[in-house]
Amino acid sequence: MVDTSFTHIAHSTQTIQQRYLHVITWGCQMNVYDSNRMVDLLRPLGYKVTDEAEKADVLILNTCHIRDKATEKVFSELGRLRQIKEYREDQGNPTLIAVAGCVAQAEGEIILKRAPYVDIVFGPQTYHRLPKMILDVARKSGNVIETDFPTESKFDFLPAPDESQGYTAFLTIQEGCDKFCSFCVVPYTRGAEESRPVQAIVDEATHLCSLGVKEISLLGQNVNAYHGQGPDGNIWDLVKLAEKLSTIPGLLRIRYTTSHPNDMSDSLIAAHRDLPTLMPFLHLPVQSGSDRILKSMNRGHTVSEYYAIIEKLKKARPDIALSSDFIIGHPGETNEDFKATMKLVQDITFAQAFSFKYSPRPGTSAAVSMNQIAEPEKDARLQELQAVLKDQQTQFNKDTVGRKIPILFTHKGRKEGQIAGKSPYLQAVHAQGNDSLIGQECMVEIDECLTFSLSGSLVKESTSH
């Protein structure tokens, strides 16, 4: 779970009939993956994606419950979708509203009670049943709710994507979590930790690469705890899986997110040195730099253990770009604890990081703590932390100026004649170059560090084989 911005996804597809689907996706990359899979599931039913909600016969709101006023945001967005539905139905166009994702899982019936105009509510583990749910609503004109954790795996029912994804793609390899950090809803909304079998992942990755994908981000709430059934009957870890994926023709880059410090094995650290496809970037949330708070968060590791992992990583791959998540104002966090977090940040230095004010999640242990921190205190601490993290990010980017770096070009730049893509360190880079280089990895000398991106010049047309 990395991206916290709201993402409105517009998928473009080809279909057999004129029925339209509009998907709004909030939250993490796994939700983006799930929304794409929902589109794949509905394509055979004749649904074409539109980015105009007013045009859609089916409106799906894929929700996130991780922070903030998640539930209230959902009801406010549903109010907007209701108006669209009513307007369309006045014109004689039946319209269906579906609420998916973690808020759907957590709130279930409450959504249907407060917003009876919603037709379908389904959680992250049941969306493979979406075509049937839509048919059921159409036939019975009643609401459908599917928020159980079924024994069958949704992955066994998802069709392969049948259209180009661009040059980068997400691939969920593991889902759920058994760690129960004090602040987190994930174990309740996504369920128990489960890894997909190796062959299913290899097949999906091979298919993506046959569509032109060059970079795959492996997703999981605890992705580095991956332990899937291998084709040889043994359990494979993330390293073995990544090594196997590296043999797929056309696949140049592998990333993975999100990792937990306790599952950062020595072999995974070594893979950052030995496996050229594994990008020198690691998102490894630490949440706090205070042992006292880490303990009350139930994180299961200490600050010095985190330092030790980082030291090993930097030894294995000196240029590795580090990323993390921080929670500010967890119940019981004193000024001393916060200073310890600031010290950790100063000591390690991050290429990028996400930091959040603690927000109580219903059903989690921290939410009922009597030691909640006042909002103004959280605000002040967050501001102080974010200022340092921003400076570190800028410094990291400035340090790449003058270096020659392979850039995977994925799209046209904003200005005429520009192409744009990502560095191995996940920085946005653009350069003057021919469109024919889009989809290739090329050597670029970084010339300048701008506010949101780097600009560079092509030095060699391609590193791709």
Binding site listing for [4Fe-4S] cluster: 28, 64, 102, 177, 181, 184
Task: Decide if residue 181 touches ligand SF4 (CB under 6 A).
Answer: yes
Binding residues for ligand SF4 restricted to 222-251, rule: CB under 6 A? 222
Supply the minimum distance, in Å, between the C-beta of residue 380 and ligand 5AD.
16
Binding residues for ligand 5AD restricted to 269-328, rule: CB under 6 A? 285, 287, 325, 327
Contact 202, 248 (CB under 8 A): yes
Supply the minimum distance, in Å, between the C-beta of residue 188 and ligand SF4.
9
Of 47 and 183, which CB lies nearer to ligand 5AD in the complex structure?
183
Contact partner at residue 219 from ligand SF4, ligand 5AD, none, CB < 5 to 8 Å by partner kind: none
CA triplet 206, 212, 214: central angle to 5 degrees? 80
Contacts of residue 135, Cβ cutoff 8 Å, sequence gap at least 6: none
Contact partner at residue 260 from ligand 5AD, ligand SF4, none, CB < 5 to 8 Å by partner kind: ligand SF4
When binding is defined by CB under 6 A, the residue of 22, 85, 260, 317 that contacts ligand SF4 is: 260
| C-alpha span between 276 and 408 (Å, rounded) | 14
Of 56 and 184, which CB lies nearer to ligand 5AD in the complex structure?
184
Of 222 and 440, which CB lies nearer to ligand SF4 in the complex structure?
222
Task: Decide if residue 179 touches ligand SF4 (CB under 6 A).
Answer: yes
Structure-token pair, residue 232: 């040889």
Supply the minimum distance, in Å, between the C-beta of residue 345 and ligand 5AD.
14
Of 66 and 446, which CB lies nearer to ligand SF4 in the complex structure?
66
| C-alpha span between 239 and 140 (Å, rounded) | 49
Task: Decide if residue 180 touches ligand SF4 (CB under 6 A).
Answer: yes
Task: Decide if residue 51 touches ligand 5AD (CB under 6 A).
Answer: no
Structure-token pair, residue 135: 């048919």
Task: Decide if residue 413 touches ligand SF4 (CB under 6 A).
Answer: no
Supply the minimum distance, in Å, between the C-beta of residue 329 and ligand SF4.
16
Supply the minimum distance, in Å, between the C-beta of residue 2 and ligand SF4.
12
When binding is defined by CB under 6 A, the residue of 41, 134, 186, 242 that contacts ligand SF4 is: 186
Task: Decide if residue 1 touches ligand 5AD (CB under 6 A).
Answer: yes
Supply the minimum distance, in Å, between the C-beta of residue 54 and ligand SF4.
36
Q: HEC states along the chain?
A: CCCCCEEECCCCCCCCCCEEEEEEEECCHHHHHHHHHHHHHHHHHCEEECCCHHHCCEEEEEECCCCCCHHHHHHHHHHHHHHHHHHHHHCCCCCEEEEEHHHHHHHCHHHHHHCCCCCEEECCCCHHHHHHHHHHHHHHCCCEEECCCCCCCHHHHCCCCCCCCCCEEEEECEECCCCCCCCCCHHHHCCCCEECCHHHHHHHHHHHHHCCCCEEEEECCCHHHCEEECCCCCEEEHHHHHHHHCCCCCCCEEEEECCCHHHCCHHHHHHHHHCCCECCEEECCCECCCHHHHHHCCCCCCHHHHHHHHHHHHHHCCCCEEEEEEEECCCCCCHHHHHHHHHHHHHHCCCEEEEEECCCCCCCCHHHCCCCCCHHHHHHHHHHHHHHHHHHHHHHHHCCCCCEEEEEEEEECCCCCEEEEECCCCCEEEEECCHHHCCCEEEEEEEEECCCCEEEEEEECCCCC
Of 161 and 289, which CB lies nearer to ligand 5AD in the complex structure?
289
Supply the minimum distance, in Å, between the C-beta of residue 440 and ligand SF4.
35
When binding is defined by CB under 6 A, the residue of 25, 126, 221, 277 that contacts ligand SF4 is: 221
Task: Decide if residue 106 touches ligand SF4 (CB under 6 A).
Answer: no
Task: Decide if residue 280 touches ligand SF4 (CB under 6 A).
Answer: no
Of 243 and 325, which CB lies nearer to ligand 5AD in the complex structure?
325
Supply the minimum distance, in Å, between the C-beta of residue 123 and ligand 5AD.
18
Task: Decide if residue 183 touches ligand 5AD (CB under 6 A).
Answer: yes
- Closest to 59 in 3D by CA, of 74, 70, 72: 74
- Closest to 137 in 3D by CA, of 148, 146, 128: 146
Supply the minimum distance, in Å, between the C-beta of residue 121 and ligand 5AD.
22
Residues facing residue 21 across a β-bridge: 49, 58
Task: Decide if residue 330 touches ligand SF4 (CB under 6 A).
Answer: no
CA triplet 199, 204, 205: central angle to 5 degrees? 95
Contact partner at residue 303 from ligand SF4, ligand 5AD, none, CB < 5 to 8 Å by partner kind: none
When binding is defined by CB under 6 A, the residue of 22, 37, 65, 67 that contacts ligand 5AD is: 67
Contact partner at residue 180 from ligand 5AD, ligand SF4, none, CB < 5 to 8 Å by partner kind: ligand SF4
Supply the minimum distance, in Å, between the C-beta of residue 27 and ligand 5AD.
9
Q: Rule CB under 6 A: which residues touch ligand SF4?
A: 177, 179-181, 184, 186-187, 221-222, 260
Q: Rule CB under 6 A: which residues touch ligand 5AD?
A: 1, 66-67, 183-184, 285, 287, 325, 327, 356, 358-359, 361
